[in-house]
Structure 1
Amino acid sequence: MPELPEVETVCRGLARALEGRRLARVQQRRPDLRLPFPPRFAERLTGRQIVAIRRRAKYMLWDFDDGTVLLGHLGMSGRMQIGTGPLPELGPHDHVVFETVDGPHVIYNDHRRFGLMTLDHRDTVAAHRLLSGIGPEPLGNEFNADVLSAALMGRRTPIKAALLDQKVVAGLGNIYVSEALFRAGISPEREAATVAGKRAEKLVPAIRDVLNEAIAAGGSTLRDYVQADGELGYFQHAFKVYDREGDPCPTCAKGVVTRIVQSNRSTYFCPRCQK
C-alpha cells in the first residue's frame, strides 16, 4: 500500500497538472470501489475548478471552487495516470476519468479496487470519519519529540506497532517505520512507552529525514506504485534494512539485517545496533 511519500508524490504531480483547471467531463465507470461512490459523483464535479490538491496522512484531498472536497485513497494498487491529447482506449480497470477543459486528463486505474473516492465539504472534511482522530503530520511543525512522547506514554505495545497507529502519527507505514527505527538505533521490539524522552528526540528527526528523502526520490516502487506521470519511485534503492534480510548491517558491519514478523507484517532491523 502506498505510504506517505508515495501519496505526497502523487499529489504533487496531480497539483502541477490540474490546479487551476476546470473539469469538462468526469466519467464514473462503476458504482463502487472499496466503498460506493456518493450520489451524483460525476455530476457534482463536472464544470468545477480544481483549486488545490493536498494530502492528509495517506489520503488525497482535491479542493474545488464551490467548497466540495474529493477525498480519495489509492488502496493497494490504485494509480492516478496523467495524460494529454485524446483519451486512450480505456481498460476494464480504468474506473474514473477526469477530463479538463483544454488540458490534461487523469485516469484512475485500480485492478484490486481497494481504493476509494468520496465527496465532502471544506468546512467539514477534517471531521470526516476517515480523517477524524488521525495524529499529527510527521513533516509538520506540530510533530516533535514532546508530542510523540506524550502519545507513547503508557503504551506497552512494540514501538513498531505504535508508529503504525495512525492516531499516533499520520501516514507512516511498514517501510518507513523500519527505516526510521534503524536510523534512530531503536529496536522495533522495544516497548513503546520506553521510547518517550531521549529516544523520541532521536526518532523524530529520523522519521523526517527518511520521509523527505523518499519524497525527493519519488517514493518507493515495490509492486504497483508509479508516480502520476508514470515514472517509478527510486527510494527502494536507498533502503538500509527494509527487504535486506541477510545483508551486513550498513552501520556496524558486524550485525546482520534480520526479518521478524510483527502484527502479520515483516519488520527488518539490526539486532546488534538497534536496542
Structure 2
Amino acid sequence: MPELPEVETIRLQLKPLLIGQSIFKTTVYKEKSFQGKPKQLTGARITGLARYAKILIIETDKGLSLAVHLKMTGQLIYKRQIEKANLPDKYTRVMIQLKDGSRLFFNDIRRFGWMRIVKNIKDITANLGPDPFKLTASQFHKILAQSAKPIKLFLMDQEKLAGVGNIYANEALFLAKIHPLVKADKVTGEKSDGLFKFLLLVLKKGIKYGGSSDNDYLNAFGEKGEMQEHLLVYGRKDKPCPNDCGDKIKRIVIGGRGSFFCPNCQKYKR
C-alpha cells in the first residue's frame, strides 16, 4: 500500500503540472471508484494540491476538492497530450482530461482505492490522527503513552498516527532498536525521542528516493520508486543484520502484517 512518502512524491510531482489547469472532462469507468457527480468538476480550475495522511487532495476554485486514496494498488499517472500512452487500460477506473489536453489516469487493480468529491475535507479526515511531520517529540510521546498496543500496530494505526504503514514502521523500529511487540506506552524517554527521530528520518528518506515500489506503486510519471533498494529490514528475512551484529533478520506476523526485525538489536523483554 502506498504510504505517506509515496503519496507525497506524487503530490510534489503533480503540483507544478496541475495548478492553474482547468478540468475539461471526468470519465468514470468504474462507478465504485468514484464518489460524487463527475460533471461537478467540469470547468473547475485547480488551485492547490495537498496531502493528509495517505490521501491526496486536489483543490479547485469551485469550493470542491477531489480526494484520492490509492489504498492497496492504486496509481495516479499523468500524461501530457503529446505523450504516447497505453492508457486507459483494463485497470483504469477514472480518467481526468485537462484543458491543455493532458490526462490524469486513476488505475487500481484491486479496486479498493477511491476518488471522492468533497466540500469539507474534515468529512474524510475527522477520524485520522496527526501527520508525523506536524508533531513535536513531546506530542508524539503523549500519544504513545495513551496506548497499550504493540508499538508496531500503534505506528500503523491511522487514528493514532496518520500516514505511516508497514514498510516505514519496520524501518523506524529497527533504527530505534525497539522490538515490534513492545507496548507503545512502554516506549518512554530517550526511546520515544529516538523512535520519533528515526520515524521522520525514514519518511524523509522515502520521499527522497521517490517512494518504495515493493508491489504496484508507481509515481505520477509511471516510474518505480527507489526506496526499496535502500530498505534495511523490510522484506529481508534471513538476511544478515545491517548492524553486523551476527544475527539474521526475522519475520513474525503482527496484526496480520509481516514484521521484520533483528532479535539481537531489537530485544524483547516481556
Q: TM-score range by the shorter chain?
A: over 0.9
Tell whether 2:157 aligns with 1:161.
no
Q: CA deviation at 1:77?
A: 1.2
8 A Cα contact 1:26 1:96, kept in partner: yes
Q: Does 1:131 align with 2:128?
A: no
TM-score by length of 2: 0.93
Deviation at 1:18, TM superposition (A): 0.8
Q: How does 1:50-89 map to 2 (within 5 A)?
A: 50-85=46-81, 88=85
**1:180-219 deviation line (CA, Å, top 9, x unaligned):** 0111111111111111322111011101110001101000
Q: Does 1:205 align with 2:201?
A: no
Are residue 180 (structure 1) and residue 172 (structure 2) matched? Answer: yes
Cα deviation digits, residues 111-159 of structure 1 (max 9, x gap): 21110111112xx312x1x31131221122xx12211221122422211
TM-score, scaled to structure 1: 0.92
- State the superposition RMSD in angstroms: 1.5
**SS of match in other structure, 2:65:** strand
| Partner amino acid, structure 1, of 2:153 | A
CA apart distance, 1:31: 1.8
Aligned residues: 265
SS at match of 1:237: helix
Counterparts of 1:147 and 1:90 in 2: how far apart (Å)?
44
Deviation at 1:90, TM superposition (A): 2.8
2-structure distance, mates of 1:179, 1:92: 35
The answer to whether the 8 A contact 2:245-2:265 is kept is no
Task: Quote the Cα distance in structure 2 between the aligned partners of 1:199 and 1:90.
Answer: 48
**How far 1:56 sits from its partner (Å)?**
0.4
- Asked if the contact 1:252–1:273 (Cα under 8 Å) also holds between the matched residues in 2, the reply is no
Paired letter, 2:17: A
Structure 2 alignment gaps of length 5 or more: none
Deviation per residue, 1:6-48 (Å, 9 max, x gap):
1111111221221111111211223222xx622x2x1011100
- Percent sequence identity over aligned pairs: 35
Gaps of at least 5 residues in structure 1 are none
SS at the partner of 1:139? helix
